[in-house]
Amino acid sequence: MKHPARLAAVAVAVVVVVFGVVLALSVGSDPQEDAKQSHLVGKAAPNFDLPNVAGGRVTLADVAGKTAIVNFWNSWCIPCREEEPLLERFYAAHKDDPDFVMIGIVRRDETKTVKAYVQKNGIGWTVALDPGSVAALDFGTRGQPETYAISPSGVVAAAKLGPMKAGELERFLAVARAAA
């Protein structure tokens, strides 16, 4: 070997170039993006059978044939409270649609607190309790608020972790209706 230093320099250069290519291909991709997406989108919605604050029950079968917006929330959750006025306006605009239903599912909250919150805020959509967080686990929720749009055929058409923004609920509804 006449030039061991050259050989070492070429080897280091090759490693640096390979590393640079890998890094360049990764730029712009969020390594946590997959964690933000629900793996339910495009799949059948999980079955649920939950008590509601009105004293009855709500099941996935109850919403069959309708477009459903399902929102997981808590009375103590600040982003949930901030999102509520948007949900109220959206519900008021669609509550008379014959193919529409909206369900709030509350987990990790006290029943009496939820009932008082629903009454105080005049929440008109169905609010269900999720004892043991069974529905939340079946949906694979990662926090609250978290919202799902379910098509009339029972397929999850859209999902979002975090508070909805103006226009997003309308897009969720349109996507779910189109997935019928």
Q: How far apart are CA 23 and CA 154, in angstroms?
A: 41
pLDDT at 140: 94
pLDDT at 25: 55
Q: To which residue do tokens 């009454």 refer?
A: 119
Distant-in-sequence contacts of 93-100, Cβ < 8 A, 24+ apart: 94/173, 95/124, 95/125, 99/65, 99/66, 99/67, 99/152, 99/177, 100/66, 100/67, 100/68, 100/69, 100/173
Is it the case that residue 9 has pLDDT exceeding 60? yes
Residue length of the chain: 180
List alpha helices for the chain, DSSP H: 4-26, 33-36, 78-94, 111-121, 134-139, 168-178
Query: What would the pLDDT profile of 80-105 be if each residue is shown by its tens digit?
Result: 999 999 999 999 999 999 999 999 99
Query: What would the pLDDT profile of 29-49 be if each residue is shown by its tens digit?
Result: 444 444 557 889 999 999 999
Please state the rounded mean pLDDT for residues 65-78: 97
Note the pTM of the prediction, 2 decimals.
Answer: 0.80
Query: What would the pLDDT profile of 106-126 be if each residue is shown by its tens digit?
Result: 998 999 999 999 999 999 999
pLDDT at 4: 74
**Parallel, antiparallel or unpaired: strands 49-51 and 67-73:** unpaired
For the chain, the distance separating the N- and C-terminal CA atoms, rounded to the nearest angstrom, is 71
Neighbours of 105 (CB within 10 A): 25
Is it the case that residue 1 has pLDDT exceeding 70? no
**Banded model confidence at residue 137, pLDDT cuts 50, 70, 90:** very high
**In this structure, what token pair is assigned to residue 143?**
């926090």
